[in-house]
Chains A and B, each alone.
Chain A
Amino acid sequence: MSRSHRIAGGQIDRTSTIRFSFDGLPYTGHPGDTLASALLANGVRLMGRSFKYHRPRGPLSAGSEEPNALVQLRTGARQEPNSRATVAELFDGLTATSQNAWPSLRLDAMALNDRLSTFFAAGFYYKTFMWPAAFWEKVYEPMIRRAAGLGRLTREEDPDSYDKGFLHCDLLVIGAGPAGLMAALTAGRAGARVILADEDFRMGGRLNSERFEIGGQPGADWAAGAVAELAQLPTVRLMSRTTVIGAFDHGIYGAVERVSDHLPEPPPGKPRQTLWRIYSRRAILAGGATERPIAFENNDRPGIMLAGSLRAYANRWAVAAGDRVAIFTNNEDGLRTATDLHAKGVDVVAVIDARADGPLLPGIRHLRGAEVIDTRGRLGLTSITIRQANGRTETLRASALGVSGGWNPNVNISSHHRARPVWDEAILSFVPGKAGPPGLSAAGAAAGRLSTHGALASGQTEALAALADLGRASRAQPLPEAEDAPVSITPKWYVAGGKGRAWIDPQNDVTVKDVKLAHQENFTSVEHLKRYTTLGMATDQGKTGNVLGLAIMAGLTGRTIPETGTTIYRPPYTPVAMGTLAGRSRGKEFKPTRLTPSHAWAEEQGAVFVEVGQWLRTQWIPRPGETHWRESVDREVLATRRSVGICDVTTLGKIDIQGTDAGAFLDRVYANTFSTLPVGKCRYGLMLREDGIVFDDGTTARLGEHEYVMTTTTANAVAVFRHLEFCRQVLWPGMDVQLISTTEAWAQFSVAGPNARRLLERIVDQDISDAAFPYLAAGNITVGGLRARLFRISFSGELAYEIAVPARYGDALIRRLVEEGRTFDAVVYGTEALGVMRVEKGHVAGNELNGQSTALNMGLGKMVSRKKDSIGMVLSGREGMMDPGGYRLVGVKPVAPDGKLTAGSHFLDIGAAAVMENDGGWLTSKVYSPHLGSDIALGYLKAGDRRIGERMRAVNLLAGTDTEVEIVSPHFFDPEGERLRG
């Protein structure tokens, strides 16, 4: 390990020492350090390997734009790949490892790719891995996937929690540099509700990295004072460590607050990160600017970084990235780095200034009209070769090189609504376009105002404009004095000549040669350039390199940069962890879980539950000694058909429909008629979509002259209610009809089987004899004096009732039914037994109500009344839907009693090949019928109603089954319906 590279000053707390490790070696740093600044202070420049060529890399920047210094942070389940060392706050015990290198960062075997770079130029995927075609899936893709990629996932569950939150404000200020602070001060002092968000852990932006003075005090001190004042203002919310990631519609911004990332692990009860949705009336983008490099040969070595970052490491973090420093610049800002480092006693060997004339820096070797043409140093910079204005070349020993090709305003968020940034010739950069997100304006460097005075002035101006929009008059205040130096930039995108590679996008290894190749192959539009070379498609989204790439393309095509244009940005501004987007919606909390009223009882019995949408329903209830699910299900079916069974059917949707037009309304929404239904009766209803496909089914009862209660399937409860509201409010707004969902208001149980009535007679207060309460009767009753509802309907084909009580009595009712049922050996059955019994009866359910089937397909064509207008009536009569050769619901049983049926099997004629042309339809639902002692199934078969009695094959190539079957009526059990009328 080399000696410390710490120098005087900086915003680190030297009274406290932090221990951390990188690739297993221990280091120390101080509070205020980032991982990158602490590693540089320890003399570590090599922090990563590039994506494609595995070139040794060190940090290019000191901020969130970092393309190179990507590491894995933490260990175990908290390990996170692709973390930017330049923004990772140091904490005691931090463990970081390098990625994308094997066996080690210093000796990476995959660096062989660098020697083979000729083969890996832009577009190499498209050209290299062409043939043989079969190789792509088996050989090329796995190989590429192994070789490429950066970090690795832990494959362990994330132990941290993530929150989502909502904030409202008058003015959102994005970025807390001089412009953002001045904007927040102006608006906050005027009493506006302000949110000031900044991605850094210390507010102040570039002021923390500069030696500028504001109003006679150091810029960083002025920033600290402004933050202190803002903290006192009651309507201002300061959010550091918070990145605004995107501008969405209507003044809504997304922001990620890194609540606990600066700590070893989140404190108890705290999330790791919070995703904020910020509702703003106005917003100011004061996100600053990002410096860009100049491309020259071998410009990617550790030690070569952006000049402003080199300066930031020196001024803010008290780190000299090298003992002999050179600067390569095409603008005035590069000179500041030379001046600042020189003032701090660092040896500045030369300033290579691409500009031909202007005053020279005093006391520093300042070469005008010069350029850097090559560098050396395998794992870190050792020397640079320069070419002076007179053509003379010279090699200089240097361990750090600061490069400045100008500053790109951070326009990202301003283009999230597709606004194109516009070219500003004065600063040779894109600035936000006019048609940005409504309510958003830009200030400071983000708007191209690159001086401190410009930032302060535009921050105030934009805040005043925002206040005026908000109806709060306020006046400009005198601004504190600050520098207002001109940018003075000359175009210099890359150093021409030479044969080596000059990087423009170091993360994706895109070089000047790749841009030239794209041009040569006619991928000259910026969108093609991006996709052909992958320029700007890495995790940094080309924050430093994009402009360089398109400027070079502009030069090659002879167009101007504005003519060439730029790609635009999408959210997020910086990468966001998947866990942050998921928030609390993980695992069991992914969706709500709805429990049936009998859940507690069923749980006590050891029931097996099944997810049905959001509901958990009892699937079956095993008894001691039962080892296979079918033993339980067969027993439940047989016991129900023999005596009586009870099933919780609360999950079915229930909709109360009232009003003088309730009956007429039902006639419109159901294919069959309900206005003629007598009070006290119920009827099966079939509901179509307007296109004639069956939407839903269920029984609907008429409880009064103007009062109905509809049941829907469990799956469609919400959709049917929405549809009915549409019909009521939009299609027939003159109808007197009101709706309310009562699905969760009533606990409802099916009581089915020959002893169903005898069991219920012990529970209900009324006479429910067949005479008093015949088949399809419905009405209000009482249970021990409590209001209840009774419906004599049957899904199982048995004598059956559904009894409903207010949901809070559901638990008591199931216990009472079970208790009274002991006399009859009653059984409680689950959804599997329910399914067996409905298939035995040929009733359609979800598998048949598949969103593709008509009433005719289901054998229910006669239910569609043509005498009245109803949803779907007209279009269900379309020629294609009336096809006599179309699918019809049939029953299926194997010819051999022990023959196995598989759901999803396709029907084929005996002897026909298993190809699509011979496909006759498919098997929708299959169960084992304990009564028939064999598998039985329902299915859709072409012209199936005319094929009853025929033999076919049910073939499932995936399951490997091929069974000879007989096509039968779908009514396997009690086809005359004698039992349910009993």
Chain B
Amino acid sequence: MIIDHPILGPRDAQEFVYLGDASLMNRPDGLSDGIGAFHDYLYNRANPVGEHRELWYHEQGDRSWLVVTRNTLTHEITKVELARDVARASGRSR
């Protein structure tokens, strides 16, 4: 596969490490949210046929975490974003 890195351009997928569903960025708050929220966050994921947003890490590259939108059926990649930008846009900060 080829991942079109937003900064570095097209790179071979072998340079990356796969983590999983991009919902892993929506971590609950440990002080205000309880076990139930963390349980859902960590274990309950959709397993879609088709479009899937997922986290990839450019380990053999610039160490960027990326959100890659990939079709699980065809492996077509339609969007690649810096995870930092996606996280910030969704309101995550510190």
Q: Which residues of A contact B (CB under 8 A)?
A: 248-252, 279, 417, 438, 661, 664, 690-691, 718, 722, 725-726, 729-735, 868-870, 873-875, 877-878
Contact = CB atoms under 8 A, between A and B. Distances in A.
Given A690-B42, A874-B30, A875-B42, A726 B57 contact: yes
A740 to B, nearest CB: 9
A734 B2 CA distance: 30
A873 B30 CA distance: 7
A870 B30 contact: yes
Nearest to B86: A730
A405 to B, nearest CB: 35
A168 to B, nearest CB: 10
9 contacts: A250-B77, A690-B38, A722-B57, A725-B63, A726-B19, A730-B25, A731-B27, A875-B38, A878-B35
A690 B27 CA distance: 10
A729 to B, nearest CB: 5
B94 A734 contact: yes
Contact of A869 (B17, B29, B83): B29
B76 A438 contact: yes
Interface of B: 1-2, 13, 17, 19, 24-25, 27-31, 33-35, 38-39, 41-42, 55, 57, 59, 63-65, 74-77, 82-84, 87-88, 92-94
B94 A874 contact: no
A250 B92 contact: no
B2 A250 contact: yes
Contacts of B92: 730-734
Nearest to B3: A250
A252 B2 contact: yes
B16 to A, nearest CB: 11
Given A252-B1, A731-B92, 10 more contacts: A249-B1, A417-B74, A729-B83, A730-B84, A730-B92, A733-B93, A734-B94, A735-B94, A869-B29, A878-B35
A250 B84 contact: no
B65 A725 contact: yes
A470 B63 CA distance: 32
Nearest to B67: A730
Contacts of A248: 1
Given A869-B31, A875-B42, A730 B88 contact: no
Given A691-B42, A725-B57, A875-B42, A730 B87 contact: yes
Contacts of A734: 88, 92-94
B88 A733 contact: yes
A875 B75 CA distance: 34
B38 A722 contact: no
B34 to A, nearest CB: 7
Nearest to A867: B31
B23 to A, nearest CB: 11
A730 B77 CA distance: 20
B55 A730 contact: yes
B82 to A, nearest CB: 8
B85 to A, nearest CB: 8
A878 B38 CA distance: 11
A874 B75 contact: no
A249 B13 CA distance: 10
Nearest to A870: B30
Contacts of A691: 42
Contacts of B93: 732-734
A250 B14 CA distance: 13
A870 B28 CA distance: 11
A729 B42 contact: no
A722 B59 contact: yes
Contact of B35 (A722, A733, A735, A875): A875
A733 B89 CA distance: 10
Contacts of A661: 94
A877 B92 CA distance: 25
A730 B29 CA distance: 14
Contacts of A722: 17, 57, 59
A641 B24 CA distance: 47
B94 A732 contact: yes
B43 to A, nearest CB: 8
B50 to A, nearest CB: 15
A417 B71 CA distance: 13
Nearest to B88: A733
A250 B29 contact: no
Contacts of A869: 29-31
Contacts of A732: 92-94
Given A869-B30, A874-B30, A250 B75 contact: yes
The 9 tightest CB contacts between A and B, nearest first, are A734-B93, A869-B30, A734-B94, A250-B2, A249-B1, A249-B75, A729-B84, A733-B84, A874-B38
Nearest to B83: A730
A735 B84 CA distance: 11
Contact of B2 (A279, A729, A735): A279
Contact of A726 (B30, B35, B65, B88): B65
Contacts of A664: 94
A135 B66 CA distance: 55
Nearest to A690: B42
Contacts of B35: 874-875, 877-878
A598 B27 CA distance: 43
B65 A729 contact: yes
A588 to B, nearest CB: 21
Contacts of A870: 30
Contacts of B65: 725-726, 729-730
Nearest to A668: B30
Contacts of B39: 875
Nearest to B85: A733
Nearest to B32: A869
Nearest to A718: B59
Contacts of A279: 2
Contacts of B57: 722, 725-726
A731 B22 CA distance: 11
A4 B1 CA distance: 53
Contacts of B75: 249-250
A663 to B, nearest CB: 13
Nearest to A435: B74
A601 B64 CA distance: 38
Contacts of B34: 874
Contacts of B25: 730-731
Of residues A251, A725, A870, A877, which shows the largest number of chain B Cβ atoms within 10 Å of its Cβ? Answer: A725
A732 B64 CA distance: 14
A875 B64 CA distance: 27
Nearest to B28: A874
Contacts of B76: 438
Contacts of B13: 249
Nearest to B27: A731
Of residues B17, B77, B87, which shows the largest number of chain A Cβ atoms within 10 Å of its Cβ? Answer: B87
A879 B78 CA distance: 42
A874 B33 contact: yes
B40 to A, nearest CB: 11
Nearest to B43: A691
A728 to B, nearest CB: 9
Contacts of A735: 94
A722 B58 CA distance: 10
Nearest to A664: B94
Contacts of B82: 729
Contacts of B74: 417, 438
Contacts of A730: 24-25, 55, 65, 83-84, 87, 92
A357 to B, nearest CB: 48
Contact of B1 (A250, A417, A731, A877): A250
Contacts of B42: 690-691, 875
Contacts of B28: 874
A297 to B, nearest CB: 45
A875 B33 CA distance: 11
A875 B40 CA distance: 11
A473 to B, nearest CB: 25
A733 B27 CA distance: 12
Nearest to B76: A438
A249 B33 CA distance: 41
